[in-house]
Structure 1
Amino acid sequence: MDISVVVPLFNEEESLPELTAWIDRVMQAHHFRYEVWLVDDGSTDGSWGVIQELRDKNPHLKGIKFQRNYGKSPALNEGFSHASGEVIITMDADLQDSPDEIPELYRMIKEDGFDLVSGWKQKRQDPIGKTLPSKFFNAVTRRVSGIQLHDFNCGLKAYRRNVVKSIEVYGDMHRHMPLLAKWAGFRKIGEKVVEHRPRKYGYSKFGISRLVTGFLDLMSLLFVGKFGKRPMHLFGTMGTIMFLVGLGSLIYIGGMKIYSLTNQIPAILVVNNPWFYIGLTSMLLGTILFVTGFLAELVARSGSDRNNYLVETILGDA
């Protein structure tokens, strides 16, 4: 199988016939062996009935139906688990992504050697209320992740097969697929300018709340990727620093008290000095963080995947 196309969808019954016919034309024109996984994320319209009808006419089409709406990331993850193509391409079902981009995306993976190619909607057909927050989100993600892409959230992406088989997409992590791939050791990540077409049917299923959840997911991903197997390195360091700051504050207060007594000057009232409370609070927080680190380390070490690592090649194994 050359290409697997994974299409997550929610209430897109109107666009599915046109989308699948367009994909088929492109595949036939370039003689690709292909499959299309249409993942129905708990649609409440007639999307699943349309998928069944289309499947009867085109055996390349395959469908997955969730019992309820879980979100785009679970839909992608389920599609990835079933995809068998050498190159996996994802696209949205709303016809804003053009299937005509598929051949070039495939070539960039197979010939240019990229592990992942992300689409860049350079000219977006969206209102300013969506484009400005998106630009801000992408700028922050570039800065934090170190991956120089213009559009992390573009649904049109291409992956080498072992990339999608090595990562797990959960929550709303579909926005951070390049970062997930990077953490898994796939560092050849490219970008392609793609056409972004006006929405022809229906309406967008994503609101402004995705800006907030996107940042929260990014922070979670960075934490898990860097400290998931060694949480004590983070909590222990923070706890030690705070404990030492608190201890230093109390030593300072004690020194001032002793100095006032030995030099026969009016003694200070320790409890009236703000550094006394700063010191106590810092030592308490430091201790809590340190204990949190120990507990997190116990949880990490008892996990079933504590020694699961992605191995690329083994030489000399008997």
Structure 2
Amino acid sequence: MRPFQYDRARTLTDAAQITQGEDAMAIAGGTNLLDLMKLQVETPRQLADINRVGLGEIADTDDGGLRIGALATNTATAVHPRVRADYPVLSRAILAGATQQLRNKATTGGNLCQRTRCFYFMNIDQPCNKREPGSGCGALDGIAKLHAVLGASGECIATYPGDMAVALSALDASVEINGSDGTERTVPVRDFHCLPGDTPWRDNVLEPGEIITAVTLPAPGGGTQLYRKVRERSSYAFALVSIAAIVEMEDGVFTRADLAFGGLAHKPWHDPRIAQALVGNAPSAELFDRAADVLLEDAQGHGENDFKIPLARRTLHAVLEQASEDAA
């Protein structure tokens, strides 16, 4: 780990001013950032500890939704009575994502901003366009078992590793962001993370000096909420494929089908065409096949991760079958 200056921000203004600087970053739980600093993948010269700026509250919104502060821990969110009652897919995703010790420290904002666990990104001796632009993507012809089959580019095929954001995408949550000049903006979670394109080093839409202040969930609907995570072992591991699903049915047909996918792309993957294919139709193997065809229309494997394409198809089948049975 390289030397750095540590400052405690007392207000959002303090945090924004510090993190505006070159090679400056905010830190909360540090469950991802500190690991990256130890590996010298991240080498900030200045850290702004934002734990005292007062962003840990979880509260109801005026329209019946829920506002989760950026510093609310994953544990606090997962066990919150309203999350468990009205947004169980979020609780299940968080509980599937890490050990209790990590959940006790990891925060809502930090979880959204976590970086890929690609072997080439994590190893400074390997080429990685995300870590060192222009150096190449070692995974293209190398170790790619966990890598993307959707939305990748010739510059990067890494995947977003988190679970929480997949559930937030299915729930159509929004991210509240405070700017360095005190202005605020709101970004849908579905638009918060970036695909690699020609700029794989950019994980999300945050600009220098911007701080996530909260995530807002819309008022809950009815139906069934599921989170299924397929991984190599039953203990805590990153998803090969994961699906967050919110499904409603009436008179034997789908009336709502909001799905988001993890482990397949550089960001939680949401394709509105899947809902369009499902809504208004009765569940059947043929319908589930059509939904999978939509999801995987442009899927491309890279040798080691070719298996993800049929795995995603089978997992989608299983989730839709269970959701339709539970919602009937």
For Structure 1 versus Structure 2, the TM-score category normalised by the shorter chain is: under 0.3
Q: What is the TM-score of this pair, normalised by structure 1?
A: 0.27
Bigger share in strand = 2
Q: What is the TM-score of this pair, normalised by structure 2?
A: 0.26
Question: Which has the larger Rg?
Answer: 1
Bigger share in helix = 1
